[in-house]
């Protein structure tokens, strides 16, 4: 089991590096059923002009939509970094059974600064069901995907550069 956990986490970390190379945030996730990767996703928030397009939410949404599924009970989700509050919500609603992550939210905060954010276990296990949460795991490898992250331009700055969006003059009344 541990060997499999490592293998799937390595893949999630590789996806995180790929996301970074594409100008997105360095996060990746894979969905596993019965020891097999059934879907994988990377953060594409900047690329798709979608601030909610995180790897974990995306891997759930893309897979459920394409397979007409509404519950992922029995599935495991592997994430290069501990899922954020939004993605923990998605994991809860999708009824995923197990979450494994590399870098913790606390470790991420040390890199990015700012106020501490809640870990996913508290959010995931606030309801009736119990979701198994494993991590931090392979943190040296997971942190390698975040090298330079704190020095890169913010998401909004990267988006501005990419799409030449002038946020300062944007008005909600521009479009009828
Ligand atoms: Zn997220």
Please report, in tens digits, the pLDDT of each residue of the chain (176 residues total): 678 999 999 999 999 999 999 999 999 999 999 999 999 999 999 999 999 999 999 999 999 999 999 999 999 999 999 999 999 999 999 999 999 999 999 999 999 887 888 899 999 998 888 999 999 999 999 999 999 888 888 889 999 989 987 766 655 555 54
Report pLDDT for 176: 47
Q: Answer yes or no: 56 catalytic.
A: yes
> What is the rounded CA–CA span in Å between residue 53 and residue 22?
14
**Which one is catalytic: 18, 56, 82, 141?**
56
Distance of CA 79 from the midpoint of ligand 1 (Å): 10
Amino acid 171: pLDDT: 58
From ligand 1's centre to the CA of 87, what distance in Å?
4
Q: Where are the beta strands (DSSP E) in the chain?
A: 28-33, 36-42, 76-81, 98-103, 132-134
Upper half-sphere CA count for residue 19 (Cβ side, 13 Å)? 30
């Amino acid at each position: 089991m541990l060997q499999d956990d490592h293998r799937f986490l390595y893949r999630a970390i590789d996806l995180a590096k790929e996301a970074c190379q594409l100008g997105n945030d360095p996060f990746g996730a894979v969905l596993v059923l019965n020891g097999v990767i059934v879907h994988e996703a990377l953060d594409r928030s900047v690329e798709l002009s979608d601030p909610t397009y995180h790897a974990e939410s995306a891997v759930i949404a893309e897979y459920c939509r394409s397979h007409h599924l509404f519950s992922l009970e029995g599935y495991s989700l592997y994430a290069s970094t501990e899922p954020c509050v939004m993605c923990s919500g998605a994991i809860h609603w999708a009824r995923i059974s197990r979450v494994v992550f590399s870098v913790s939210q606390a470790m991420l905060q040390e890199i990015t600064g700012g106020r501490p954010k809640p870990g996913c276990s508290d959010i995931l296990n606030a309801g009736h069901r119990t979701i198994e949460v494993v991590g931090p795991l392979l943190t040296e490898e997971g942190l390698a995907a975040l090298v330079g992250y704190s020095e890169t331009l913010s998401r909004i700055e990267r988006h501005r550069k990419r799409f030449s969006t002038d946020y300062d003059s944007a008005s909600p009344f521009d479009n009828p």
